Structure 1
Amino acid sequence: MQNTLKLIVFSFMISLLAACVYKRDLPQGNLITPDMVSQLQPGMSRQQVVQIMGSPLMYNAFDDSLWNYVYRLKDADDNITEKQVSLVFNGNQLADIQTSGDIDASPRVDLGEAPASAAAAGPGEVVSPMGQPTSNPEGGAADPTL
C-alpha cells in the first residue's frame, strides 16, 4: 500500500514537472519594422537600402535586381507571424517595393536600451562601459571599447 502511494505521488510530481517546459519566441530572418519600410523610397541606391534594411536574406541567383527580406516569428503559443519585403532594382536604383504579411505588426524583440548618459554624449565623446561620457583627444571617432 505504501509503495503504491509513493508511485502515485512520484507520477504526479513527474507530470507537474513536464508541464513546466519553457518555450521561447523563435524569430528567423531579417527584422522588418514599419519604420524601416517607410524609409524606403524609389530612386535610392543599393547602399542606402542596405543602411536601412541590412543585407537581404535571399539574393536571387539568376536576377540580381531582386532582393528579398523575409521575417518569421513563431511565438511561445505557436502563433506564426510572417513578413516579406521584395525590392526590385533598376541598375543601382530602387525601382519597386512589394510587401506581404502584416508589416505593421510590431516584433517582440528586446533590443535593450542605451543608458541615459549615451544620449548626453556630445561630438568627440564616447560613453564608457560605466556609462560616463569620455572625450576623444583626437577629435575623431573614439574607440567605444574603452
Structure 2
Amino acid sequence: MPSAAGGCVFCEIVKGEHQAHVVLDTGDAMAFLDNRPLFKGHTLLVPKQHHETLPDLPAELLAPLFGYAQRLAAAMEEALEAAGSFVAMNNRISQSVPHLHIHVVPRNRKDGLRGFFWPRTKYASEDEAAAYATRLREALNEFR
C-alpha cells in the first residue's frame, strides 16, 4: 500500500485509527459519512490504498471504485428516499484531504444546492449519524 506523507486522515479511517460512520467496507475501498455533509447521508468513498488524485489511481481500481459509487447512489435513493444523487470528485484544487475521494450526495428537488455553492450542515448527534450510516449499509446489501 502506498504510504501517505504527513498522516492522512482518510488512511487513518481505513486503518481504524480515526472514528467514522462506515457505510461500506470492502477489500479495496471504504465509504463513510462526511462529517460536514451537504445533506444528511453525504458519503465519501475512498480507495483503501493511498492515492492522491484520479490520475494516480491504478487502472485496475477504477472500475471497482466507480462500481461502489454506482451502488451508493442507488442505495441513497432506496434508503434515504432521495430523488437522485450528486457524484463528484476534486483533484488537488478544492480537495480538502489529499486522498482520492468521491462525494456521493443524496439530492431532492429544491434542496438548495445551486452550482458550486455548497451549504454544509451537521448531524444533530452521533446517534443520528450512526442511523444514517446503518440505513445506507442495509440498502447497499440489497444492491450486491
What is the TM-score normalised by the length of structure 1? Answer: 0.22
- Higher Rg: 1
**Bigger relative contact order (CA 8 A; separation at least 6):** 2
The structure where helix makes up a greater share of residues is 2
What is the TM-score normalised by the length of structure 2? Answer: 0.22
The structure where strand makes up a greater share of residues is 1
